[in-house]
Amino acid sequence: MRQEALVVPPGTIDVHAHYFPRDAPPSEVIAGFPRAPRLVIDSPETGRLVRGTDDFRTVRRALWDVPARLADMDRAGVAVQAISPVPVMLEYGAPAAPFAGYCRWVNESVARAVEDGDGRLVGIGTVPLGSPPECVAELRYLSEVLGLRGIEIGTRIDGMELDDTALEYFFDAVDGLGLAVLVHPVDGGGGAVRRSGFTYDFGLGMPSDTALAATALVFGGVLDRHRGLRIAMVHGCGTFPWAYPRLRLGAQIAGTHTPEELDLLVSRLYADTLVFDAAHLPALVHRFGPNRVLLGSDHPFIPGQPEGGLTDLDSAAEHLPPGAVPRILRDNALEFLGLSSGELVTDHFSPIKEDHYGTH
């Protein structure tokens, strides 16, 4: 299944999109992990994600059906998507052996979807982070055999923050293999805020949890210890871009870091554009730099995306540095995912006007 010297076709790249296999997990996985998330298809267009006997959420066909996904991409003007597991699949507290089998099933399913994607899908997998031997073995398998380009991880790993020393082995292995890391909140933010309910979990919990994960990576030394890591934070890195100046000042007052060294570490993070407000996009570029912002949509979960994100980028283009738009639409994603391409962004797949690319 491994793809040698993968070259992406011209056009826009969406790095934050999710996929779920339509087939059931292996019986031995279900036997040891009865709440393993699985898909139940109810009609040609809709299905449900289920954990054990509990419904988790209703989903639509593009989540599991590659032709439907490609049709959505065509309508939006997206040439390429990086597909990653649905965050509910990152069940780090599950029994170790069945969860390792579940991760293998997920990764092989993602690789098959990539094969069916006519060169327009790039795979991001998952690993059993709670079990180092199985995790490292799966990292090698998905990279060297399946040809996946990255790993999706949660903002916390079975209660551990990302700078926990127990996770050093993972960052060592990922750094050595040259895999990209996509960090995504799980379970509505995992108690990051004191209010409960979907509005608070979605609107404050997930962005706050993402900010805490970014803080662990920057202030906890992960990025300093692993200089080759390529890490992207979804949802615009949550509330971190706005909290960072205060965090930086706090570290300076406490004498733990200098502003200069922190700015350098922050500039190594990638963040996607899924912030739902064109006015926020210049702030993202200011915080992380024009070489570190990526198009992200959460497809096929968020209504109006990726079209809305592309429209926001169009609206913000005049407030961005020259050349930032094509980098956000394509070039930064190529670098993050470790891909090659002989061409830059064209207007064939993108609604962003070409005269915005370097003239504002």
Model confidence pLDDT, tens digit, residues 154-191: 999 999 999 999 999 999 999 999 999 999 998 776 67
Q: Is the pLDDT of residue 5 over 90?
A: no
The 10s digit of each residue's pLDDT in 310-357 is 999 999 999 999 999 999 999 999 999 999 764 333 334 444 444 444
Evaluate whether 113 touches 85 at the Cβ level (below 8 Å).
no
Average pLDDT over residues 66-70: 98
Sign of CA dihedral 39, 41, 45, 51: negative
> How does strand 46-51 pair with strand 54-60?
antiparallel
> How does strand 38-41 pair with strand 46-51?
antiparallel
Give the pLDDT of residue 195. 87
| pTM reported for the whole predicted model | 0.93
Residues composing the chain: 360
The CB density around residue 51, as the number of other CB atoms within 10 Å, is: 14
> Across the chain, which distance is largest between two alpha carbons, in Å?
59
Q: Is the pLDDT of residue 241 over 70?
A: yes
Pinpoint the alpha helices (H) of the chain. 27-32, 66-76, 96-116, 132-140, 168-177, 198-200, 206-219, 222-225, 240-254, 259-266, 281-288, 307-316, 324-326, 332-337
Sign of CA dihedral 330, 332, 336, 340: positive
Q: Which residue has the tokens 């059931």?
A: 24
Rounded CA-CA distance 145/139 in Å is: 10
| Cα of 207 vs its chain's centroid, Å | 14
- Give the DSSP H or E segment for 40: strand 38-41
